[in-house]
């Protein structure tokens, strides 16, 4: 190999290997910092967020860490979005004190598994998004707004009306817990009661596997029911329609959609009678044996 070739190889090695190492470190850090389940309902993400804004993206570009000087680095730690706030759902009273028309910077990890880069497209007629996220403090002590793959970030035009209504009201009922069910994915044995309106169980795995609509994700909000002294899905509007249509779809597919005696009304004639008898037999088995004597 010639002297020029050796020199070129040395230069490439000097720049390429550290660059690769830095990328691996950033990816590892991102993986460590973003150990989160994707099985979270939008209401959960709203309640756990420090802020929730409807924003219009103005720009997006590589950025050093918040508070650090831009010194023409080879690789940047973050991607930064500059956005104008269109609507505030949560965060007006936080450290950010954000208001409509304010322009803020939002940071997302660059080259990390939980980053949210490349959202901004200057050729799109609208770059409106829902941003929920957390308020973080950098190593240099700078407070900044962070969005990641763990927070709820969505194209505004992709949101359902019920989700927007949730952001503007019903999602703020954060005293209720939405329980994600994911065991079916690993065991192959789905729970007997996949979908139940009397509890706030969120089961996107069953919805995907059974190829039915995920009513809870698209239309559901979990609210407190004082009469039952517990939390349940808000059963009205499109959620109610979706919930019943899904049960009908499961019945047509031959899947076990019925989990309470009242739901036997999905059937007619003989099937309805068989359904009711099944629950009566199950109830008798669960009753304690009273008045029966042993032969011995």
Per-residue pLDDT of the chain (296 residues; tens, 9 = 90+): 555 554 444 444 444 444 443 444 343 333 334 556 567 899 999 999 999 999 999 999 989 888 887 776 677 889 999 999 999 999 876 666 788 899 999 999 986 667 888 899 988 888 999 999 999 998 889 999 999 988 999 999 999 999 999 999 989 889 998 888 764 443 444 444 578 888 898 888 788 888 889 999 999 999 998 888 899 999 999 999 999 999 888 877 776 555 556 666 656 677 777 777 776 776 565 455 444 444 44
Q: Are residues 211 and 116 in the same domain?
A: no
Range of the domain at 279: 258-287
Q: How far apart are CA 134 and CA 96, in angstroms?
A: 11
Beta-strand pair 153-155/179-180: unpaired
Q: Model's pTM, two decimal places?
A: 0.72
Buried b / exposed e over 23-61, threshold 16 CB at 10 Å, is: eeebeeebeeeeeeeeebbbbbbbbebbbbbbbebeebe
For residues 61 and 141, state if they share a domain: yes
For residue 174, give both structure tokens.
């954060």
34 belongs to an annotated ligand binding site: yes
Are 64 and 162 within one domain?
A: yes
pLDDT tens, residue by residue, 139-191: 889 999 999 988 999 999 999 999 999 999 989 889 998 888 764 443 444 44
We report the CATH number of the domain holding residue 87 as 2.40.50.120
| 145 and 73 fall within a common domain | yes
Same structural domain for residues 83 and 196? no
Q: Are residues 143 and 50 in the same domain?
A: yes
Domain-located, residue 149: yes
Q: How far, CA to CA in Å, does 145 sit from each of 50, 56, 105, 127?
A: 9, 15, 7, 19
48 and 163 fall within a common domain: yes
Task: Indicate the residue among 135, 167, 199 that finishes a domain.
Answer: 167
Do 46 and 95 fall into the same domain? yes
- Domain presence at residue 11: no
Instruction: Find the DSSP H helices in the chain.
Output: 3-33, 42-48, 161-167, 183-187, 204-209, 215-219, 237-253, 269-286
pLDDT digits (tens, 9 = 90+) for 112-145: 667 888 899 988 888 999 999 999 998 889 999 9
Q: Is residue 28 part of a domain?
A: no
Based on the domain organization, do 143 and 47 belong to the same domain? yes
In a domain, 19, yes or no: no
| Same domain, yes or no: 150 and 224 | no
Q: Domain ends where: 167, 193, 224?
A: 167
Q: Count up the domains in the chain and report the number.
A: 3
Quick one: 201 exposed, middle or buried, by C-beta within 10 A (0-12, 13-18, 19+)? Answer: buried
- Cα–Cα distances in angstroms (integers) from residue 32 to residues 26, 28, 35, 196, in the given order: 10, 6, 6, 35
Do 193 and 88 lie in a common domain?
Answer: no
Distance CA 201, CA 190 (A): 13
Residue 279 sits in the same domain as residue 225: no
Phi and psi (nearest 5°) for 155? Answer: -60, 130
Q: Alpha-carbon distance 197 to 235, whole Å?
A: 7
């Amino acid at each position: 190999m010639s002297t020029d070739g050796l020199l070129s190889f040395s230069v490439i090695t000097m720049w390429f290997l550290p660059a690769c190492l830095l990328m691996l470190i950033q990816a590892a850090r991102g993986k460590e910092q973003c150990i989160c389940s994707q099985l979270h309902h939008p209401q959960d993400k709203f309640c756990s967020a420090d802020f929730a804004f409807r924003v219009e993206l103005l720009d997006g570009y590589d950025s050093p860490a918040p508070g650090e000087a831009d010194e023409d680095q080879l690789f940047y730690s973050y991607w930064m979005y500059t956005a104008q706030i269109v609507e505030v759902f949560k965060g007006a009273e936080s450290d950010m004190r954000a208001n409509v028309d304010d322009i803020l910077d939002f940071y997302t990890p660059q080259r990390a598994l939980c980053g949210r880069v490349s959202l901004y497209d200057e050729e799109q007629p609208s770059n409106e998004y829902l941003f929920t996220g957390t308020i973080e403090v950098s190593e240099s002590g700078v407070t900044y707004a962070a969005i990641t793959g763990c927070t709820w970030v969505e194209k505004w035009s992709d949101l359902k009306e019920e989700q927007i209504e949730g952001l503007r009201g019903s999602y703020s009922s954060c005293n209720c817990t939405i329980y994600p069910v994911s065991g079916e994915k690993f065991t192959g044995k789905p729970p007997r009661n996949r979908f139940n309106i009397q509890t706030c169980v969120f089961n996107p795995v069953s919805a995907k596997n059974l190829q039915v609509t995920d009513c809870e994700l698209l239309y559901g909000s979990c609210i407190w029911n004082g009469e039952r002294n517990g939390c349940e899905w808000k059963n009205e509007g499109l959620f109610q329609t979706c919930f019943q249509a899904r049960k009908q779809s499961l019945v047509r597919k031959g899947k076990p959609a019925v989990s309470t005696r009242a739901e036997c009304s999905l059937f007619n004639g003989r099937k309805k009678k068989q359904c009711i008898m099944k629950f009566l037999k199950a109830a008798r088995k669960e009753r304690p044996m009273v008045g029966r004597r042993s032969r011995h």
